[in-house]
Structure 1
């Protein structure tokens, strides 16, 4: 017996692939950021600011705070398909920009000191690519951008 991957919500709608993906990605990244903060809670700035490597990424208090600020909203935005897709597009851009900066300098945004900045950039790009791919898959599954955004015209749940 097979089970559907969608779950009925209170309003009777079914969650899409993207909504589940956003929930999982955001929960995992918020937990990762919390682990990074626990590993190195320092909010020091500059070239000698301490960092701790957590699952390959250099973390300190600033990087952990940025991760929570970026991924915590997704835990609420996963409630609608359109919000999920828009979130993925915005968050992927939010991951690419510091990734590009990290390739050029170990001190991103003049605050985040990343000794292993090339690896950090690669992780940022990988997460952004996954988020973009999920958004594109959902848009194609829905039959186009207009269909994906159709629930924006509905009243909130």
Structure 2
């Protein structure tokens, strides 16, 4: 779809530019004998319409190659922009995840350092109190996570 839109845009621009290049030129001699070239004929003089030379012939195969090269470069630019956008999205998601991990680590540290003994529920669903060594190990782990995830 984008190629079709681009092709129409190129054709429309080309047609507009060729129309502007077709302006008529007039050659006439003024009362001092000086030859004048203008876009508008004088009302009281004999003029000669200047016919512009035809544009140079362009090889259709060469024109097609130029067009294909142009379209290919535009496609590469679009792909590069999409890649950059994807990388930016990935970077944003990573920053959001780091912020969430930072907040979780800070919350864990706060929970472990405030209050008295901590009761934890194990994987088997049984609640037990943390030993001081386990509690200190979890505090150290939370501090390492804060260092890693928090800026």
Q: TM-score, normalised by structure 1?
A: 0.31
Which has the greater radius of gyration? 2
Greater share of strand: 2
